[in-house]
Amino acid sequence: MHKLFDLSGRSALVTGANTGLGQAIAIALAEAGADIVAAGRSDSSETAARVHAAGRRFHAVQADLSQQAQLAGVVDQALTAFGRLDILVNNAGIIRRADAIDVTEEDWDAVVGTNLKSLFFLSQATACHMLANGGGKIINVASLLSFQGGIRVPAYAASKSGVAGLTHALANEWAARGINVNAIAPGYFATNNTAALRADTERAPQILARIPAGRWGQADDLAGAAVFLASAASDYVHGAVLPVDGGWLAR
């Protein structure tokens, strides 16, 4: 059974792997045997150290993932680093909180551009390689707000709903050609993105009271889902959006 989840000899490109959920996913894939390419603007030395501690190779690509012109180069650098690209994890994302009446065009474009547009074009660039080399695994990081509307995050909710729809659409096109496209939908996790929310003395207790597991998620809680969707164990799973939410959606 363990061979189903073994990623030995595979290479994974993980965006936004410097901290939080992306870092936890990168480390989980490394512990399962994959070499890791981390792409983003921030320093990823901590992730590199932990990947090396797992006995795997690590390569950092400095790139502004909101710039479409840089995305093909990210894939090229990943291929140059390890000679292959088997797994893409589209984790990088941003959030801007404001009442819908106050959202600016700049904030809307920044959130939708990073969370949805760049995700598509990086997937497209990666798929060009995967389709020519027998397939691969693409894992998108969606959200509970792929299913719900949230509060004071209209651009984020729109982008993450788009991520779910795009996951289905790409799976429909690429499943028969050897590429599995699926998504993980994290619930409320203790990360940098939720620091302000967790500090909100009104909202934070309301959120916690609705989570059946009785706690906010920790980044490591995504490890199993990520390894599953990256491995042979999920070879017949296409277009799934897997909630990892402590039971939030069950309430």
Name the residues annotated as catalytic: 156
> Which of 14, 186, 219 is closest to 95 using CA atoms?
186
DSSP letter for 215, please.
S
Query: Rounded CA gap, 226 and 139, in Å?
Result: 8
Angle between helices 105-112 and 154-174 (to 10 degrees): 30
Query: In the sheet where 179-186 sits, what is the strand order?
Result: 58-62, 35-40, 11-15, 87-90, 136-141, 179-186, 241-244
- Quick one: DSSP state of residue 20? H
As a whole number of angstroms, the distance between CA 49 and CA 34 comes to 15
